Amino acid sequence: MSDFDLKIVNGTVASASETYTADIGIKDGLIAAIGRRLGSADDVIDAAGQYVLPGGIEAHCHIEQESSSGLMTADDYYSGSVSAAFGGNTCIVPFAAQHRGQSLAKVLETYHGRAGPKSVIDYSFHLIISDPTDDVLHNELPQAIEDGITSFKIYMTYDRLIVDDGQMLDIFTVAKKHGALTMIHAENNAMIKWMSDKLVTSGHGEPKYHALSHPRAAESEAINRAIALAGFIDTPILIVHVSSAAGARIIAEARYEGRKVFGETCPQYMFLNMEQMDLPGMQGAQLCCSPPLRDRASQEEIWRCLQNGTFQVYSSDHAPYRFDSSGKLSAGPTPEFPKIANGLPGIEMRLPLLFSEGFMKGRISLNHFVSLAATNVSRIYGMDHCKGSITEGKDADIAIWDPEVTRVVKATDLHDNMEYTPYEGMEIIGWPITVLQRGKAIVANNELQVERGVGQFVPRRKIDCTGMPGRLAPELDPAVNFGVDLGL
């Protein structure tokens, strides 16, 4: 009998901190040994000249999810997970969305039913909380956290999803008590509505005006407020899909002060800009997302904030709506921008874009690429006991990248259920050519190697904020508030 089921030999292995040449021995789906001259194996992959990296973890994507207006994303758990796998990912964490009146248990049952039979890669869920009733706050949410759903998203905008400041405080209190992380869509609802109304009534309803309708100031106001409210309760938050330099700066400042704040940005804010929305007819609808694309100067600032660590998380925010009546044009052939579904596809392109434009072009190190691809997310979202790095004892989730492969992006080559990609025509240097999940090839030779449903649910651990001191607000601190103990 061989020592290992599989060995990967001669590759350049990288973690979030080190790069070295080593062989990797895999047994029973786990990384069993890292070193040289490791012993026998049933199968061997020679990765000479290639990078052997942890499989990516895509922690912000919308898969088989109904929007608040009832629109279904174009990708289900099969096409979404296949597309993720071809983009070098071995794990996804999409959203399980509560719409008002729904119980969280039922929502999670629905999403388990969607993902289990179809996903080809491992998965977890973040809940979306839109209806924080007493039962949700005190029974359902604690139970979901106990069951390994240790993060959830809330919205500061959208009429059918928005939670007000008081509800945010209630949610933060539960998150703090039970060790969960709250993700926040931070945009000021009134500013967006006011601008949208002004633009549409003055005859500016075309898709490109969407970019003006969500001002940068709406983002920075909401980020500021979210940090103030969460800081008052002293609970960790993650500001998702940050698009503006002003927003990023507020996050950097809060982190400097030791607040429990994480930041995420997305490829669209680094690789695309609002000028590209100025297209004839409805074409610009393909680039409507929220927060919207900004200008070229913002792109540079967002890159800088990725480089300097203001953003620990880099996610696709894959929200696939086709350019037809099932998606972008569901309100008719020529809707005004407020009626265009928000979101871009990008689950397969997230990592190739960053590898090519970040690592290969010298903007970030290989180790920083690894941290953004997988390691940071595994730590922040409570998965680092099993995923996120090539470490003995962890799942053998590995993507082998070939820096010699150059491809020009074409929507028809991608594996999602979309007919366009915002990155069409870009030249990408380096591509994940073999992707292993728990030691088994899921992508090799440009082909999917597994059947639907091989992905497994990953229960996540409580959130660890070691090193982020935060502070109890004096008004909540019995030592200085006349001894009032509100149980926080």
Footprint of ligand DUC on residues 108-167 (CB under 6 A)? none
Under the binding rule (CB under 6 A), the answer on residue 211 touching ligand DUC is no
Shortest distance (Å) from residue 153 CB to ligand DUC: 7
- Give the residue from 249, 262, 255 showing the smallest Cα distance to 216: 249
The residue (of 185 and 208) whose beta carbon lies closer to Zn ion is: 185
Shortest distance, position 23 Cβ to ligand DUC, whole Å: 40
Of 182-190, 369-377, 382-390, 426-434, the segment contacting Zn ion by CB under 5 A is: 182-190
Answer with the entry of ligand DUC, Zn ion, none that 122 interacts with (C-beta below 5 to 8 A by kind). Answer: none
- Given Zn ion, ligand DUC, none, residue 315, with its beta carbon under 5 to 8 Å by kind, binds none
Q: What is the DSSP string of 51-72?
A: EEEEPEEEEEE--S-B-TTSPB
Residues near ligand DUC (CB under 6 A), total:
9
Judge contact between 417 and 281, C-beta under 8 A. no
Q: Which of 343, 345, 346, 388 binds ligand DUC (CB under 6 A)?
A: 343
**Amino acid residing at 140:** E
- Locate 444 and state its tokens: 């090799």
Nearer to ligand DUC, 15 or 342 (CB): 342
Q: How far is the CB of 479 from ligand DUC (least distance, A)?
A: 39
Smallest distance, Å, CB 291 to ligand DUC? 8
Residue 192 Cβ vs Zn ion, minimum distance, rounded to whole Å: 12
Binding of ligand DUC at residue 342 (CB under 6 A)?
Answer: yes
AA letter at 103: S
Nearer to ligand DUC, 85 or 97 (CB): 97
Cα four-point dihedral sign 392, 388, 148, 5:
negative
d(CA 105, CA 360): 44
Q: C-alpha distances in angstroms, 425 versus 161, 187, 393, 420, 428?
A: 36, 32, 41, 11, 9
Give whichever of 61 and 108 is closer to ligand DUC, judged by the CB atom. 61
Residue 151: φ, ψ to 5°: -145, 150
Read off the amino acid at residue 184: I
Report the sign of the C-alpha dihedral through residues 149, 153, 158, 159, in that order. Answer: positive
Distance CA 405, CA 403 (A): 6
* Rg value, the chain, Cα: 22
Pick between residue 70 and residue 362 the one whose CB is nearest to ligand DUC: 70
Retrieve residue 425's tokens: 């025509």
Among 118, 241, 387, 394, binds ligand DUC (CB under 6 A): 241
Give which of Zn ion, ligand DUC, none residue 342 binds (C-beta under 5 to 8 Å, depending on kind). Answer: ligand DUC
Per-residue CA distances from 178 to 30, 138, 416 (Å): 30, 10, 36
Closest distance of CB 407 from ligand DUC, Å? 26
Our finding on whether 214 is near Zn ion (CB under 5 A) is no
Nearer to ligand DUC, 341 or 441 (CB): 341
Terminal alpha carbon distance of the chain? 56
Give the Cβ contact number of residue 246 at 10 Å: 17
Q: How far apart are CA 324 and CA 213, in angstroms?
A: 23
Pick from 5, 58, 221, 317: which binds Zn ion (CB under 5 A)?
317
For residue 95, the minimal CB distance to ligand DUC (Å) is 8
Cis ω before 132 (30° cut-off from 0): no
Q: Which is nearer to Zn ion, 241 or 255 (CB)?
A: 241
Kindly tell me which of 62 and 210 has the beta carbon lying closer to ligand DUC: 62
Question: Would you say 219 or 336 has its CB closer to ligand DUC?
Answer: 219
Site residues, Zn ion (CB under 5 A): 185, 317
Site residues, ligand DUC (CB under 6 A): 62, 185, 240-241, 290, 317, 319, 342-343
